[in-house]
Structure 1
Amino acid sequence: MDSQSIEHEEQSAWNQLEFALNFLHPCSARIERLKSQLESKLLAAHGEIQYTIGLDSKGESIGLSNASLDLAISNMRLIAEEVKANLQLLSKQSMGNGTVAQVLIRKSQLQTYIIDIRVALIGESQSGKSSFIGVVSKGVKENGRGSARNAILRHMHEKKQGFTASVTQHLVGFDCRGKIIKHNKSWAELVMKSSKLISFIDLPGNKKYRSTLFYGLISQCPEYFILMIDPSNMNPSNNTEYLSMITALNIPFMIILSKCDKATSSKVDGTLDYLRGELCKREKILLEVLSPEDVVLYSRTFLQENIVPVFSISLKTSLNKDLVISFLNLLPSRNNYEECSSTEFYLEKWYTRESMVILCGIMIKGKARLGEKLLLGPDLSGKFIPVIVLGIHVKEISVHSVTAGQFCSFQVNKVQELRRGMVLVDVTSNPMPSLEFECLVWTIDDSINTRIIKSSYKPLVYTQTITQCVAIVSGPEQVNPHEIMKFKFHFLYHPEYITIGTKLMIRDTFMTALGTIITVRRIDPP
């Protein structure tokens, strides 16, 4: 094939379909071009990409025989190995007058960027969230009496009560072939051997810990949600609220019906009917995942086609557990963070170590490097103070730099005043704190009544890792169901560092609402 035809194919925008003829009998020049294309696509996709082999640029079968398709896959596997990646055959099926295959190409471990996808589990108390994480992340077999749940609960009172009371993260590692890395390893060892990580975020379901749930929803920046439902003991109003939260946040999600070994078929069918009705109101389609072919198809399409996959599983009998694990392995990364912007790191918690402090949180924007000078603040008076980055850790691994979208920890020189919601920013960004801001807010609760806003109302606002009560400076005098309202808020206690476009949540006995910050009034630090 001449160089002109090669250039023509490189300019094609059809990134998810490959011309299998390119891989049948490639010349040396073709191999080098394919290697370069694959390397750039893997870099853009953060280390993994799916291909459909055997289709042309219009998505139609090119009529490959089984033997020709196998040869194309074999050559593609060799080219993937040249760029230190692995090819996994997901499915093969007849289509038209030929055969088509679905493959996954993923970088091997020890790459500069490890795929880390954050999946938050939400649902009622006793629905099986922690048990599911224990089975998948620790390999513990569920005995029906909380064995898997107890393997991951960190506090004694949680084990005694039998439910989660805090926000915790748990890791699952996949190798380049899509197999789960052996369980019960340290995070550092697991990361070193993994090509892809799933960070499960376990959120409390008990109403007693509702504020903790809302803090986790905003501060942990999940890329996906799993709504866990026990069909044998489901409260429709609670799950309707969860569905409203998830869809309002505009984050893709899947649903798992747990404990199907003890639920009757009528209970499962009734739950599915309820979910179809609720999702239809939100212009989404519920699709049951019943086979490995469904896993491959839905993992590629559910982000674009507004579908919600649902799995009916049993952790005790392992019913359909492998389907869920396969789906998690194929989840694409949704890292949409601004890596080229100035540094913005939000503090969640910290630890004091002799002459230094360890700051833990998430990088929202930009990059940070070892030895870099950053500004930490605002403190209670609104000041920012300079600090030096003495060390950086991601998933217990010491690194030289960190980019947007990663949870990490910084070792910095000791500072006197720390609180949740402080930020690390570039010294050249001239950061200024804020006391007042305007936002658009809309309710997501089930109330159908108009509510009068009293002058004494001081809602608690959650945004990034910030939680603080605000006073209403201006806004409507009443709240109408699902109506978008404009408020001006004033932080009651101290200034915060906030930016335009950031999401916020309000949750109290008066209303449950989601909002977006549209203007910020900066103040000069003292």
Structure 2
Amino acid sequence: MSADRAVLDRALARGEQEGGSVEFKERLTKDLHLSEGRLESLAAQLRHRVLSGDGEATYVVGVTDDGGVAGIQPDAFSETMDVLSLLAEEAGAHIDDVQTWDAGDTDGIVGVATLREGAVLDTDDDHIVVGTAGHVDHGKSTLVGSLVTGQPDDGQGGTRSFLDVQPHEVERGLSADLSYGVYGFDERGGPIRMDNPDRKSDRAAVVREAERLVSFVDTVGHEPWLRTTIRGLVGQKLDYGLLVVAADDGPTKTTREHLGILLATELPTVVAVTKADAVSDERVAEVEREVERLLRDADRTPLSIERHGVDAAIEEINEQVVPVLTTSAVTMDGLPVLDELFERLPKTDHDADGDFSMYVDRTYSVTGVGAVASGTVRTGRVEAGDELLLGPMSDGSFREVEARSIEMHYHRVDEARAGRIVGIALKGVKEADIERGMVLVPRDSAPTPVREFTAEVMVLNHPTRIDDGYEPVIHLETVSEAASIHPAEGQLLPGDSGIARIRFKFQPYLVEEGQRFVFREGSSKGVGTVTDVTPAE
């Protein structure tokens, strides 16, 4: 719940006035307030409030007509927001923000909804998603923080704090989970950034105003959290990778590990040499040569943006050609080049025309809204009000749910398409029942979860050989699950490719042919592609 009640107190103090923009509602119900005749009347009232407020209205929910705080139960508040959203749509407006508080002596809540004129954001844009990777303290989060704010770093990683999501991460200067950032570009290609990414309203404003959006999935550089990094690079529907290498440190074992994951998933990647301000020009040139050797050793072609230009980088970037540039978040050198790249790089192909699917990456609960499942839309599109299936549960079953509302970087949208990072508020399920690795699909689909599938696998690294029954962790979409590998030929050696049967150890998941995955256990690592999900006879 919101800690600062000033917004509520101001709305109550202004009160309902004939020509004012504030409206009090104790609660709204679908049966009563969406009935014939009532809907039109309430929509006209809402339209009047929005026009009176020069395009913005404030609805206080959970209060009596005279402004007395009554409070309503969370389920009733959720239904009220559903009805208010429909009324706003009818009136040519949308809900822009919702804040809630305890109602005091009662166990209910009171809330303030801000409504704005105009339809909810049209998300049919050229939105790209970039996943960052690189060794700890090589400047991933700092670089992204400076990109999304336009602010130079203080030399101590100050701008990275805009992306960290846990207090202990800020204290230690290490990221321990995925974090997200966003900025965009206007119709002329000029950047639209955030003054303060810690303010939800700043992020929402970027989404609302930008013609083109760039979202960052900032992964984890510290070795103990490599599993989280793999989840970020495999489990999100990324368009591009951004690998950072610090000029004062050069490529490390973790750099090679992260590069291997990026290349194994065939993700077009840019390498940024960071911290150029901290070393001599000779050292920068030395690290650039090390990066180029690293790429050539991985059978990739480095392309120096300094030598060949941005046009060449945009034209040539693919799974084989990797543009390289030098940057400094302190002096901001190289960041305008990254701006131009991200403004011009094409959206990679996503299956926007197929049926909707989204693997769950995170879950949380919002008072007055309920359970929220967060992730990247994998295929198709989803609209608020869609009837969906969530699962599989541990027994392989799916649960019927409804997409109550959709948010993208704190901005409410009425639909989301493939490649968007969104949070979907779900009706019909508790947050405790949603787990990472579950999938959301249309209710009229017939998803078949599997415990076993066949795949073509390649062993990238292993100290000896992979024998029948070897048990690594499989990272497929947002699934991270122990599984046993059963090579068709009985064993696989480092560098070998072959067919194998793979069985999840604990429960079934939704797996489809063509999906790529990474498997890892200790220093062992490999990749694979699902070739058959037919149950073994």
Tell me the TM-score range normalised by the shorter chain.
0.7 to 0.9
Corresponding position: 1:194 with 2:207: no
Correspondent of 1:399 among 401, 413, 431:
413
Corresponding position: 1:470 with 2:470: no
Correspondent of 1:348 among 346, 356, 361:
361
- Structure-2 change in CA distance of 1:281 and 1:369 (3 Å): same
Aligned pairs for 1:235-384 (under 5 A) are 235-290=251-306, 294-303=309-318, 306-334=320-348, 336-352=349-365, 353=367, 356-384=370-398
Instruction: List per-residue Cα deviations over 1:269-305 (Å, max 9, x = no partner).
Output: 22222222232234433222238x812332233249x
- Structure-2 change in CA distance of 1:435 and 1:497 (3 Å): same
Correspondent of 1:442 among 446, 455, 458:
458
Instruction: List per-residue Cα deviations over 1:472-526 (Å, max 9, x = no partner).
Output: 3554443322211222122111111111111111121151111111111359xxx
| Distance across 2 between alignment mates of 1:182 and 1:435 | 45
| Distance across 1 between alignment mates of 2:123 and 2:278 | 45
Q: What residue in structure 1 maps to residue 19 of structure 2? A: none
Instruction: List per-residue Cα deviations over 1:171-191 (Å, max 9, x = no partner).
Output: 011111111114225222111
Cα RMSD between the aligned structures?
2.4
Q: Which amino acid aligns with 2:357?
A: E
| Distance across 2 between alignment mates of 1:309 and 1:487 | 35
- 2:313 is paired with a residue whose SS is helix
| Distance across 2 between alignment mates of 1:318 and 1:394 | 28
Shift of 1:193: 0.8
Maintained 8 Å contact 1:371/1:390: yes
Q: What residue in structure 2 maps to residue 156 of structure 1? A: 167
Shift of 1:395: 2.9
Q: Which amino acid aligns with 2:360?
A: L
| Distance across 1 between alignment mates of 2:417 and 2:153 | 37
Q: Which amino acid aligns with 1:371?
A: G
How much identity, in percent, do the aligned residues show? 24
| Distance across 2 between alignment mates of 1:384 and 1:402 | 22
| Distance across 2 between alignment mates of 1:110 and 1:148 | 28
- Structure-2 change in CA distance of 1:195 and 1:215 (3 Å): same
- 1:199 is paired with a residue whose SS is strand
- Structure-2 change in CA distance of 1:258 and 1:521 (3 Å): same
Shift of 1:112: 4.8
Q: Which amino acid aligns with 1:130?
A: S
Q: What residue in structure 2 maps to residue 13 of structure 1? A: none
Shift of 1:222: 1.5
Instruction: List per-residue Cα deviations over 1:288-335 (Å, max 9, x = no partner).
Output: 2238x812332233249x43221112222222322222222212111x
Correspondent of 2:445 among 429, 439, 444:
429
| Distance across 2 between alignment mates of 1:443 and 1:267 | 35
Q: What residue in structure 2 maps to residue 97 of structure 1? A: none
Q: Which amino acid aligns with 1:173?
A: G
Work out which structure has the larger RCO, using CA pairs closer than 8 Å and 6 or more positions apart in sequence.
2
- Structure-2 change in CA distance of 1:444 and 1:257 (3 Å): same
How many positions carry a matched residue from both structures?
409
Q: Which amino acid aligns with 1:436?
A: E
Maintained 8 Å contact 1:441/1:513: yes
Correspondent of 1:485 among 490, 498, 501:
498
| Distance across 2 between alignment mates of 1:425 and 1:339 | 14
Correspondent of 2:225 among 209, 226, 244:
209
Q: Which amino acid aligns with 1:348?
A: D
Q: What residue in structure 2 maps to residue 180 of structure 1? A: 191
Q: What residue in structure 1 maps to residue 131 of structure 2? A: 120
Q: What residue in structure 1 maps to residue 472 of structure 2? A: 459
Provide TM-score, normalisation by structure 1: 0.73
Maintained 8 Å contact 1:345/1:362: yes
Shift of 1:243: 2.5
Provide TM-score, normalisation by structure 2: 0.71
Task: List alignment gaps of at least 5 residues for structure 1.
Answer: 1-108
- Structure-2 change in CA distance of 1:146 and 1:442 (3 Å): same
Instruction: List per-residue Cα deviations over 1:142-191 (Å, max 9, x = no partner).
Output: 12122222233222211222121111110011111111114225222111
Shift of 1:411: 2.3
Q: Which amino acid aligns with 1:129?
A: K
Q: What residue in structure 2 maps to residue 230 of structure 1? A: 246
Instruction: List per-residue Cα deviations over 1:175-222 (Å, max 9, x = no partner).
Output: 111111142252221111101111111111110111111111111222
| Distance across 1 between alignment mates of 2:332 and 2:208 | 28
- 2:148 is paired with a residue whose SS is helix
- Structure-2 change in CA distance of 1:152 and 1:402 (3 Å): closer
Maintained 8 Å contact 1:140/1:151: no
| Distance across 2 between alignment mates of 1:172 and 1:112 | 15
Shift of 1:126: 0.8
| Distance across 2 between alignment mates of 1:371 and 1:412 | 10
